[in-house]
Structure formats: C-alpha cells, structure tokens
Amino acid sequence: MTEEIRLGIYICHCGLNIAGVLDPEALAAQGQILPGVAVCRHHLYTCSEAGQQEIKKDIQDYSLNRLLVAACSPKLHEATFRRLLVESGLNPYLLEMVNIREQCSWVHSQEPQAAQAKAVELIKMGLAKVRSAQPLPERRVPVTRQALVIGGGPAGLRAALDIADGGFPVVLVERQPILGGMANKLHRTFPQGETALSLINPLMAAVMLHPGIRVLTAAEVMEVTGHLGNFQVTVRRAPEMVKADCDLCGQCAQVCPVAAPAEMEEGLNLRQAIYLPSPRAFPARYVVDLEHCDGCGLCAQACPPQAIDLAAGETRETFTVGAMVVATGFLPFQLRGSRYESWAARENVITTVALERLLDPYGPTGGKLLLSGAEFAPQDLAFILCVGSREEDGNRYCSRVCCPTALKQALELKTRFPGARLRLYYRDIRTTKKDWEDLYTRAREAGINFVRGEVTSIRGVPDGGVVLHAQNELFGVETEDRVDLVVLAVGMTLGNGHPLKEVLKLPVGHDGFFLEAHPKLRPLETVLDGVGLAGACQGPKDLAETLAQASGAAAKVLGLFAHEVLTLDSIICTVDQEKCVGCGACFQECCFQAVQMVGEGKEQKARIIEAACKGCGVCAGACPNGAVIARGFTDEMIIDQIDAALAEEPEKKVLAFCCHWCSYAGADFAGVSRLQYSPATRIIRTMCTGRLHPKFILHAFQRGAGQVLVSGCHPPGDCHYMAGNLRAQARIDKLRPRLATKGIDPARLRLEWISAAEGRVFQRVVQEMAGQLTREKKGKIEKSIE
Amino acid sequence: MKLLICACPEIRFDLPEVVRQLADAGWQAHLSPPICTPGGIKQAAALSKEGGGWLLAACSSAHHAGLFRRLWKDPRVIDLLGCTGTEEAVGAILLGLEAPPGPPREPRPLHQSVLIVGGGIGGCQAALDLAHAGCRVYLADSSLSVGGAMAQLDKTFPTLDCSICILGPKLVEVSTHGNIELLTYARIDKISGQAGNFSVDLTLKPRYVDMSKCVGCGTCTEVCPVMVPSRWNLGLKPRKCIRIIFAQSVPLRATIEKEYCIDCRMCVDVCDRQAINLEDAPRFRQLQVGAIVLATGARPLDPSIKSEYGYGRLPAVITNLEYERIVCATGPTQGALITSHGRPVKSLAFIQCVGSRDRRFLPYCSGYCCTASIKEAMIALEHHPDTRVTIFYNDIRTSGKGFEELFRRAQKAGVRFIKGLPGLIREDRAGRAVVCYEDLISRGRKELAVDLAVLAVGLQAPSEALPFQDFPPERDSFGFYRPRHPILHSLESSTPGIFLAGTSQGPKDISETVCQASGAAARVMSLFATLRETQ
C-alpha cells in the first residue's frame, strides 16, 4: 500500500458515562501523538448532530482516510458512523469503533486509573486494526422475483396466494397428488364448527385459478442450490399416468382389479389402484397408485377420452426462485411402534383423525359412525388426551390442538347421541385461545365428564367393549371404566418435510420441527436467508395460527421482492488464489456451502460463492496457509491487535476473543449492568469464534499473554453461523496438547460459552482468569524467592 | 341478470326450497355444486362463458378468497352464509336481482401509506415488514417511546432471553428506517374514510423538550428537584418530573410531565444544548393513508377487583408485571428480589388464572400467564437457587413451542406446582402473605406463608376506543377487535382496510404477536395490490 494513512480519532465523553471515569482530554492528547494520526478530538456526544458535523468537516479539512471512534459499543453506533463515512465519500469499512464505555468506563468505574490505561491500549489496538482496513466492495445480489412454496396444505395455499396477490409469480410444489394437505381429512373446525371444506376449498380453488401460481402436485423438491435471490430448484414429478383430459367418469376405477386401503380415509375403506384421491380437492383427476398397480392396462382400455398412459415416466424440471416458504405441515402421531400400538389394534379404539373421517358426510361412511360396516350407537365413549404428546420418553411437547379437537368432537358426538355418556381422560385441559375456553365450558355444561388422570392400560371384555384402567388424580384412586368406543387424541409430528432437512440443510429443533431463526422475534425465518417457515412444520399450530403465519411468511418474501437488487453486508471472505493449495479444509468446514472447489488435481483451488457467504470466517480459521481473507477481520488485523494488546506487561493480561453475536454482546451487557471486573481484560471481536485460527492463540502465548479466553455462543443452537462455535471447540481441543508440548500450561487457555444475556457469566469468567494471573504471579515470586 | 346459487355445505337451510320460491317469483336459478369444488368450478366456468350479468348467491369475500373474480368479471355476490333461513335468503336474492346496477365506481385516490396504531412489538414488526416492502409507514404510539409491554419485561419465555436486549435493536431499526416516521406521544383524534383512502387527525402532545436538540444525556433529570411516581415502573419507584422514560427508549429524548413541573427552570439552565422549551405546544398532523393496522395491545386486569387476594391492601401481594420490574436489572431495585420492606425474598407463590377463566371477570384463558409464571419462577431461582417457589394452578397450559420443556425444567429445578387456586390471601404478623388454598390432589385445606405472592393477571381489551368516524371495526363482547373471520381472516377487522395485529384481538404471546404482525403486513400489501388492480 502506497497510500498514506491519515487517521482521525474521536473520543466521546458520552455525557458522564465515559468522562465520569476516564479523562477524554488526556486520551485525546495521547492519541494526537500516535503515528499516522492527523487529528484527534474529544466531544461531549460524538453521535450527536454537532459531533458528526465536526467529523465531516475534519474529513474534508484533513483529508482523513481512516476513522477511529472511541465511544460506545459498535453494536450501538457503528451503523451511524458508517453512514457518516458514506456521506463524506469514504468507504464505510474504513472505520473502527473502540468500545470504551460498555467494556471500559462502565466496568472499571472503581479503578479510574487502570481504566484510563486500558482505554489508551484499547485505542492502540483499534488503530492497529484500522490501519490495515481496506475499502470493501459493495455486495449486490440480483433478486429473481419468483417464489417457491413447498407444501400445498392451508399454510402453503395462503402463502402462495398472498405472494401472488402481491404481484409475484409463485411455484407451489406438493408431494401428494392433491392440494389441501391435512385439511382434506378434517370435517369440522373449532371453535365455530364450520366445515373445513367451506374454509379451505375456496383457498385451493383460488390457487388453482390464480394466473400467477403454478401448481406442481405429486412433485418433490430434490435439490436446491444457490442462495438468497437466486436458488436453483430441481423438482421431481411422479409419472403423469392420467393426463389432464380425465373427465372424472370413473370407468377406470370400475374395471381396476386391485384394491388397497384409502390413505385419505385413514384406511377406513378400500379403493382401487387407480382412484380419485378426493372428490372435492384439486386438481380433480384420477391417479395411479404405483405401489399397488399391477400394470394390467384394463383402465387404459376403459378410458373413453384415452387419458391414461401407464408407460409415462417420472420427469424432472429445474427453475430459479429468489425466495421460498417451507410449509410442509405435520403428520398425526403414528401409533405404530408406540406404546399405544396394541390399543389401536382394537376395532373400537380409533384416533381423532379417523373420527373426523367418520363424522364427515363426504367421508367413507357418509358421516355415519360405522365400525366394521355396522352402524353403532355407543352408550359409553371415552377420549384419551395427550396420546403422543407430553410423554416422558417420546414427544415431550404439547401438540396444542388436541384438547380443542377432542372437545369439538365430544360436543358433536353428544349432539348426535344425546343419551351417550362421554368422558375425557386428560392431564391439563389446554384451551389457551380466547375463543377456545368456551368449548370447554360448553362441554361441561353438556354433561361431558372430565377425568384428570392417565389411562395406564386397556383390555377387551367379552361383550365387545373395552375396559380402561386409569389413575384418577383428583380422587387418588385407580379406576376401571367400561366403554364402547375409545378415541385417542393424537398429537402432531413433523410431517413430510423430513427430506428437506437434507435437501435444504434446514436446521431442526430437539422437538423434531424446523427451527426458526429466533423463537420470539424471527419466528417466520430460518437461519438460511430467503427461506421462510409457515404453519405446523415449525411446531404444532391450529388452522388460524397457521394461516396467520403463512401470511407472515409471505410478507417476508414480498419484502425481499420489493427490491430488484439486494445490498448485503460486505464482511465476507475471499481466497487468495496464489496462496491456496486446494486442500479443501475451508470447503469442509463451511456451514453454508459457500466454498466451491474449482479445478482438478494440483490445480484445484477454493473459491468463495460471495452471495452465499455469511462472513463468519470459519474458512479462514481453518486455512493452513492463510489463503482465506476474512474481510474486516483479516489475519493481519488480528495479529496486529494481539501485538498491540500485549505490547506492555503481557503476562498481566487476559486476552479474550469474543464472537460478535453472543459473547461480545454478553460483555456489553456486563457493562450495561455495571458489573465490575478486572481491567486486565482485552477483548478482540470476531464475527464468530470459528474465525479463530489456532495460530492466533499460539501467537498470543508467544507474546507472553497471561491468559487467553475464547468465547462464543452456546452450542448447539445459539451460533449465528450454525456450527462455528463447534468448529472453534474442535480446534481448541486439538490445540491443547500442542500447547503442553510448547511448554505452555493448557490451563491458561479457556473456552466458554457466553450468551448475550450472560453479563454475569462474562464477569465471573474473566474474574476467575484474572485471579489466576495474580496467583501465577505470586507463584513465580515465591519460586524466585526459593 | 342471471342467478347462480352455490350449494355450500355450510348453508343450514333448504336451498331447493329457495330455488322454488324464486321460481314462483319468476326467477330461474342455477343451483350449483359448491363453486369451490372441482364440479362447481367446471359448471361455473361453463355458465360464465354464456356472458351477461351474473348474481351469485354464495359466501362473502371473507370465504371465497377472490375465487369468483377468477371466474366472472366483476360479479355481484349475495352472502348466503349470513342468512338465517329460506325467507331471508329469498329476500336478499330478490333484492339483489331487482336492485339497479350501482353507479360505476369512481376512481378514488389510493394512498400507498399505512398508519400503525401502537408501537409495541407487534406494531414495530408490522412497520418494519411494510417499510422493507417499500410502503411509507407512520407508527403512532401514545407513549413516550415505542416498545410497549415487552420493554417492561425482564426476560422472555421459553429461552429466558433478556427482553430489552432482543427488543432494543428492533426499536433502533424502526427509528432509523427511511420509510418509517415515528409519531410518539401521539393522540389520535379522528379516523375517517375507507380502504385506500383514510384520513387521520392526530395530536403530538408537547414534550417541552426540542426533539431535534435533545441528545438524551440525562443531565436535566439529574438536576430536576421534583419527584413523581414512575408509571413505567408501575409506581414502584419515584422518578424525576423531567426524564427519559427508560434507558433504551426510542426516541431517546427527555420529556417534562407538565402537571408536576414547578417551573424552577433548573433543567433549562443545565441543558447545554438549549433543548428545553417550557412553552412547547401540541402539534397537529393530518395523515392520508391507505390502510390502518391496529396494534393497540391489551392491558392487564387490575386484580384489586378480585378482593379476596388483597392486591392493593397487602404489600406482599404484587402483579406479575410488577414482579418483572423488580427482578429486572434496570428496575426499581436494580434487580434485587426484595419485598416492599426491603427484605430478601426467600419464598414466593405464583397464583394463576387471576381474573382469567373466571365468569365474574374474564371468561377466557389469557394464554400467556402459565408460561410467564414458570419463567418468573426460574428467574427467582436464578437470583437465589434456594428460593422456595410454589405455583398454584388450575391447569398448566404450556402449549407453545418449547414451553413444555420449560415446565419440565422448572419441575426439575424444584418449583412446586399445586393444583388448586387459593380462595384467600391474608397477611400474617410479620407482613407475609398467607395463601389459603385447597390442594385438589393431595387433598385438604392448607395455608402457605410466603414473602411475596405474585398474581398472574389476565389480559383484557383496552378500555379506550379509537375515534372512528365512518365504519368502526366491530369488537367482541370483551372489547377485543373482532376479526373478519376467526380462522381465515384473523388479521383483518370487520372494516375493509383496517387490519389487526397482536393482542388487540385477544391475548397472545410475543412470538404469536410477531407472526401476526408480519401477516397483517402481507394483507396490507395484498390490499394495495388488489386496489391497484381494480382501479
């Protein structure tokens, strides 16, 4: 670099927040004489309009080309000052914020002298870093303004309609041959008891007729590559054996010799191998069940419009979208393989889903309560709640909708069979929504009994009924109860979305559902930019919540599509092709598939896909040759910061590497909470602990650092880059034995997980490490005395 | 005019009879299978090809999702689902058939801007989503800062994240977004007009501090001699008459509460930016917006009406929101969990369903309180692991994502759960709260003396009504805004162009509110797109 560095340093009083402990004037005087510094000032409020005007004027007057602001945390005002640089015609990345408030004046208010000395060093560290700052190019990603919606249930339908109504084309992919998802199996909805048909069918029909929506049924997403704004999606479509000419005459099914249980009807009746999945769902067309079809060809001969082609093969197509919504829904808890399997084997033990089909006038029994073909007027009926939910070993979560579903069904049965005695075995009745409690009240008023307690076993009795053995919690007794029909209120599990875990690398929570980016504030997004979540694939939900969430996910897509080009943060990685030896370490460690290996054999080199890169620097931390340049956090910058931090009395320092998202914020939070800790601490911020190459830690020890802390987000889920923290952990585990061989006590290196809210933990950890320093010092003194 | 009647399965009266009566009146009706089924669409598509004007007797647009628009150009629709019987249906259809065609719709001005009423987390999220999508947004809040109730919480469930830490950046984003104009300390005086073209009058109340000069340094607060109870800290701590409402408030500006100001002018003298203007006056604004999002929130029930719990009489009985302030590091006690006498709290009781699920007060479940109390119990244990915590419940309703896990963690951590809601809380000689209850599981009437009894109060609709001139959105019997349809359109009010987000339509937790707010934003965008298309 031939460019002459002309630095401006600005030290903020922040009222008395900084100036109450530190002496900004003295800091400014010391700053002024540092090499390369053209101007150094202090200001009551640097972030105020007046403070910013002063800096702008200086940039012109002194032709400044690097800026250092010693004030509050970069998390607060880095954006403000970056904007200032842009307004002054400078690249926004030629700025360094030095945190002398949250990480100095607030946490060392009892030791102003030590705090002042630390502030000087912090400024020197900042200077060391900003000297090698380079202007970073703006990263602009063009947006393909077409969306993919995966899943054609209520969530997918709503999201597709909202995006298409917003003016952007949508491709809707559904695995089943028909749209509607689980809603097709529903008879009535709660709390008002409207039929699912009257609610969901119009959505389905509107999607089918919408000119902006392309519906691909019997299709699966096989592969997704690319990134926000530009995903290449490959979809596999099952063989289209019945063409669009099908006029639903049904002659094919009449001649088909093969019978199989109907999935749509929960196996309550049989259908042919060529069949109409549902008389009311879309698209309305017969389909061939490949699993059962024996290829006899009778249907093809019988079809008047000759719409059947049993030789059709599966097809694939690839298209590009800018964003996608995952709405793969749920599946009811599967009894097979569970502890309820033997219960369910009984004829008069059914699930709430099967009961929906039995109550539906369009269902397999025409809405009559038939069991094995015989009409049935039960006298005694029992519902068992929490089947497959809130289990000790199994699904631990509450499925949320089973209580209101069971209440709705119990009320309907009570209306149909007024003389029947109904009871619900429950643990807690969870009618948590404003309009749901009324169902519970109505059920009690209708004379339905509620028994709090767990059903432990059931057995058959000769008269055809079953006896439930239960613990009645409220009366503290064991009861036996003979009933004619048992309905198991089954919970929800992640449904057909499972393959997407692999295809999209979509993270899943410990409950098995897709994980949102943040449980409170980003419930509709995932950690993958441009991939949103809607409906029950994110967790159990009722229909109203599902539809609201789907609209929400659509809003995120519409927000992206409002821009033809998105400007993304410039802090990403690049590979120095000269230095790269093509070892592939970066390729293996990157969590975002942002590294590409190009070329063959010895010519192989790594290359970063800029649009996919999140800037965590995990690849740079893995590179054995220093070939990866982590922009904004280069090797050179970090080494210079270490040198500056350890220039004086290194043995008395605790050098802390903190990740931007959790631990640095945790240190800030210690400041906000005014938690006092040792001024021996020097923090170096990186985007992720995964950025840290072991060479930095070795370098710090070689420089004589007393203690080194590496601190990141709690595993497994907190890391903002999926698994950067685990990469750091693996590297440190490997480093420890090496430290010992170099004569460095591995106990001087600590790895801690500290979240943004754990200011106290940060305080405790650095206090312990600082305590270690004094103990070591004492030990050394004692040794030298000996 | 031709007539098509949809045989919707939701219609509970005799449709063939309706057809007969219409035939008697001289009108030939086509009775179609449900139009939203494949058979119905086929028939409807064939009929619409015949051309001519069509009257559809079917469902309202709340149900049909714009479907009819795809089959007919500009059809007239009678909502049969709204009719109670054959007579009413025949009447409505005849009226529709014989009514003269309305005057051609005049093009109205269409404003692509949105007013969001309420700057809590719901309002902020809706504002951000709309702003990102290029809409101009006005975010109005009656308070001095955006942030709403979430800003007052210590932590959020189920992850026990610090509330203000996750909310703060969002508030800053709202205040710095170029498409959002913040109107804090605002009162809405009048809302008139209709979807696409609302006119809103509002008053910005005087702060007596020049917003453009104040930098939020807090020097004025230090010198102010007047102490006033802090509403933001629920009266638990006094504050100064001139103050910044809370440390992370957005905008970060001081405000004088003029009723208490003694005109000593000490703040005027100390402010080196001359930001204080004791002669400040209210300012009036008129906004033209195309849509309005009501994110007005809910308010906690005042538990003093449930007098058996002694709230307001017994100092050891507090509400859960007061508890949040007490355990919060920025709260009145800097996070120390102490009683009003300053003694450390060694035992705590949480009482669930205070006002909720109670026919005398709020017959519904407020949804959030079980998980909130469990979270608050965990916070107490974080403060002092040997605190004895008891939760009195009716049903434990931890049904959101990750909530059941939190419930389990609390049980493992030693939080005691007792099924049975107390009948009475009294005070013992030491000033402790004595909870009198019947344990429904281990049986028997018992008493438990605790240092602090925390009431998990229910959420109710805000009492003040917004001044709608033309078509006020409907409210339900509890005062919450009634959605256009409880399942299909939970994000829209009964008035077109007015949308709902968050607890304005019923109790909700934070993540539900955030989902809804984004959803409402999508519906606003849809409305604008539809209005553009139909004009």
Query: Do B136 and B209 have their domain in common?
Result: yes
**Final residue of a domain: which of B74, B98, B122?**
B98
Q: What is the pLDDT of residue A367?
A: 87
Contact B338, B346 (CB under 8 A): no
- Rounded to a whole number of angstroms, the distance from the CA of B317 to the nearest CA of chain A is 25
Calculate mean pLDDT across residues A249-256: 94
Contact A88, A62 (CB under 8 A): no
Residue B103 lies in a domain: no
Percent of chain A exceeding pLDDT 90 equals 75
Nearest-10 crossing angle of helices A635-645, A694-702: 30
Residue B73 lies in a domain: yes
Query: Do B267 and B307 have their domain in common?
Result: no
Query: Do B291 and B307 have their domain in common?
Result: no
A94 touches chain B (CB under 8 A): no
Range of the domain at B271: 113-298+464-534
pLDDT confidence bin for A662, thresholds 50/70/90: confident
- Residue among B125, B165, B480 minimizing CB distance to A757: B165
- Residue among B121, B399, B487 minimizing CB distance to A547: B487
Q: How many residues does chain A have?
A: 786
B336 touches chain A (CB under 8 A): no
Mean pLDDT over all residues of chain B?
Answer: 92
Query: Do B77 and B199 have their domain in common?
Result: no
Q: Is the pLDDT of residue B74 over 80?
A: no
pLDDT confidence bin for A140, thresholds 50/70/90: confident
Per-residue DSSP letters for A149-172?
A: EE--SHHHHHHHHHHHHTT--EEE
Nearest residue on chain B to A15, alpha-carbon basis: B217
B73 touches chain A (CB under 8 A): no
| CATH code, B381 | 3.50.50.60
Contact B161, B406 (CB under 8 A): no
Per-residue DSSP letters for B348-372?
A: EEEEEEESBT-TTSB-S--SSHHHH
pLDDT tens for A528-569 read 789 999 999 999 999 999 999 999 999 999 999 999 998 888
From the number of C-beta atoms within 10 Å of its C-beta (0-12, 13-18, 19+), residue A189 rates as: buried
**Backbone dihedral region for residue B425 (phi beyond 0: left; psi -120 to 50: alpha; all else: beta):** beta
Q: Which residues pair with A511 in a beta bridge?
A: none
Domain count, chain B: 3
The widest CA-to-CA distance across chain B, in whole angstroms, is 87
Q: Which of A323-337, A375-389, A432-446, A506-520 has the lowest mean pLDDT?
A: A506-520
A61 alpha carbon, distance to own chain's centre: 48
Residue B108 lies in a domain: no
Nearest residue on chain B to A397, alpha-carbon basis: B404
Interchain proximity A280–B37, CB inside 8 Å: yes
Q: What is the pLDDT of residue B189?
A: 97
Residues in Cβ contact with A567 at an 8 Å cutoff, skipping those fewer than 6 apart: A138, A139, A140, A141
pLDDT tens for A685-732 read 999 999 999 999 999 999 999 999 999 988 866 787 878 999 999 999
How many CB atoms neighbour CB B98 within 10 A?
A: 10
Torsion sign, CA atoms B473, B476, B481, B486? negative
A460 touches chain B (CB under 8 A): no
Residues of B in contact with A539 (CB under 8 A): 400-401
Query: Do B200 and B293 have their domain in common?
Result: yes
Structure tokens at A400: 């949320």
pLDDT confidence bin for B155, thresholds 50/70/90: confident
Structure tokens at A200: 């969901």
Per-residue DSSP letters for A619-651?
A: HHHH-TTS-EEETTS-HHHHHHHHHHHTSS-GG
Structure tokens at A27: 């800091």
Residues of B in contact with A197 (CB under 8 A): 9, 34, 36-37
Residue B456 lies in a domain: yes
Contact A556, A612 (CB under 8 A): no
For residue A220, the surrounding DSSP H or E stretch is: strand A219-227
Q: Is the pLDDT of residue A672 over 80?
A: no
Calculate mean pLDDT across residues B27-33: 90
Contact A129, A641 (CB under 8 A): yes
Q: Is the pLDDT of residue A765 over 80?
A: yes
Residue A238 identity (one-letter amino acid): A
Query: Do B258 and B407 have their domain in common?
Result: no
Q: Is the pLDDT of residue A79 over 70?
A: yes
Structure tokens at A141: 């990603």
Interchain proximity B41–A538, CB inside 8 Å: no
Residues of B in contact with A75 (CB under 8 A): 169
Question: DSSP assignment, residue A240?
Answer: -
Q: What is the pLDDT of residue B109?
A: 76
Residue B21 lies in a domain: yes
Residue B107 lies in a domain: no
Query: Do B366 and B413 have their domain in common?
Result: yes
Query: Do B377 and B340 have their domain in common?
Result: yes
Structure tokens at B19: 């057809």
Calculate mean pLDDT across residues A332-342: 93
**Best residue in B353, B526, B527, B530 to probe A by mutation, most A CBs within 10 Å?**
B526
Structure tokens at A111: 């030791």
Per-residue DSSP letters for A258-321?
A: -EEE-GGGTTSSEEESEE-S-SSSSS---EE-TTT-----HHHHH-TT--B-TT---EEEEEEE
A336 touches chain B (CB under 8 A): no
Query: Do B443 and B486 have their domain in common?
Result: no
Within A434-542, residue ranges assigned H as helices are: 437-445, 498-503
- Rounded to a whole number of angstroms, the distance from the CA of B323 to the nearest CA of chain A is 19
CA–CA separation, A496 and A181 (whole Å): 10
Q: What is the pLDDT of residue B169?
A: 73
Question: DSSP assignment, residue A22?
Answer: S
- Which range among A71-85, A93-107, A495-509 has the greatest average pLDDT? A93-107
Instruction: Pick the closest to residue A685 from A705, A704, A666 (CA basis).
Output: A666
| CA distances from residue B142 to A293, A714, B202 in whole angstroms, order as listed | 67, 39, 10
Residue B104 lies in a domain: no
Q: Is the pLDDT of residue A163 over 90?
A: yes
- Rounded to a whole number of angstroms, the distance from the CA of A4 to the nearest CA of chain B is 34
For residue B318, the surrounding DSSP H or E stretch is: strand B317-319
Query: Do B450 and B338 have their domain in common?
Result: yes
pLDDT confidence bin for A2, thresholds 50/70/90: low
Query: Do B455 and B307 have their domain in common?
Result: yes
B305 touches chain A (CB under 8 A): no
Residue A227 identity (one-letter amino acid): H
Residues in Cβ contact with B424 at an 8 Å cutoff, skipping those fewer than 6 apart: B308, B309, B436
Nearest-10 crossing angle of helices A663-672, A759-785: 90
Peptide bond into A283 cis (omega under 30): yes
For residue A711, the surrounding DSSP H or E stretch is: strand A707-712
E strands, A453-534, where?
455-460, 466-472, 477-483, 485-490, 492-494, 531-533
Mean pLDDT over all residues of chain A?
Answer: 91
Residue B317, phi then psi, degrees to nearest 5: -110, 120
Query: Do B521 and B481 have their domain in common?
Result: yes
Contact B25, B78 (CB under 8 A): no
Q: Pick the more confident residue, A375 or A680.
A: A680
Instruction: Pick the closest to residue A181 from A217, A214, A206, A209 (CA basis).
Output: A217
- Residue among A49, A432, A520 minimizing CB distance to B510: A520
Q: Is the pLDDT of residue B149 over 90?
A: yes
Q: What is the pLDDT of residue A460?
A: 92
Q: What is the pLDDT of residue B148?
A: 95
CA–CA separation, A707 and B328 (whole Å): 33
Residues of A in contact with B159 (CB under 8 A): 519-520
Contact A238, A316 (CB under 8 A): no
CB proximity under 8 Å: B 238-267 to A: none
| CATH code, B25 | 3.40.50
Q: What is the pLDDT of residue A1?
A: 47
CA–CA separation, A329 and A156 (whole Å): 9
Nearest residue on chain A to B220, alpha-carbon basis: A15
ipTM: 0.94
Contact A34, A127 (CB under 8 A): yes
Please, what's the b/e burial string for A367-399 (b: 16 or more CB within 10 A of its CB; e: otherwise)? eebbbeeeebebebbbbbbbbbbbeeeebbbbb
Residue B105 lies in a domain: no
CA–CA separation, B357 and B29 (whole Å): 48
Within B141-236, residue ranges assigned H as helices are: 163-176, 219-223
| CA distances from residue B42 to B35, B45, B49 in whole angstroms, order as listed | 8, 5, 11
Residues in Cβ contact with A730 at an 8 Å cutoff, skipping those fewer than 6 apart: none
B479 three-class SS: coil
Q: Which of A263-267, B200-204, B209-213, B358-362 has the lowest mean pLDDT?
A: A263-267
Contact A41, A11 (CB under 8 A): yes
For residue B267, the surrounding DSSP H or E stretch is: helix B266-270
CA–CA separation, A355 and B170 (whole Å): 46
Per-residue DSSP letters for A550-577?
A: HHHHHHHHHHHHT-SEEEE-S--EEE-T
Instruction: Pick the closest to residue A108 from A786, A674, A725, A606 (CA basis).
Output: A674
CA–CA separation, B173 and B182 (whole Å): 11
On the CB side of A279, CA atoms within 13 Å amount to 14
Residue A177 identity (one-letter amino acid): P
Q: What is the pLDDT of residue A419?
A: 93
SS3 content of chain B, % helix, strand, coil (to 5): 30, 25, 45
For residue A128, the surrounding DSSP H or E stretch is: helix A112-131
Q: What is the pLDDT of residue B473?
A: 96
E strands, B344-497, where?
347-354, 388-393, 416-419, 424-427, 433-438, 445-450, 452-457, 459-460, 483-485, 489-493
Domains and CATH numbers, chain A: 1-137 (3.40.50), 139-233+316-329+495-566 (3.50.50.60), 239-313 (3.30.70.20), 333-491 (3.50.50.60), 572-630 (3.30.70.20), 633-786 (3.40.50)
Q: What is the pLDDT of residue B331?
A: 82
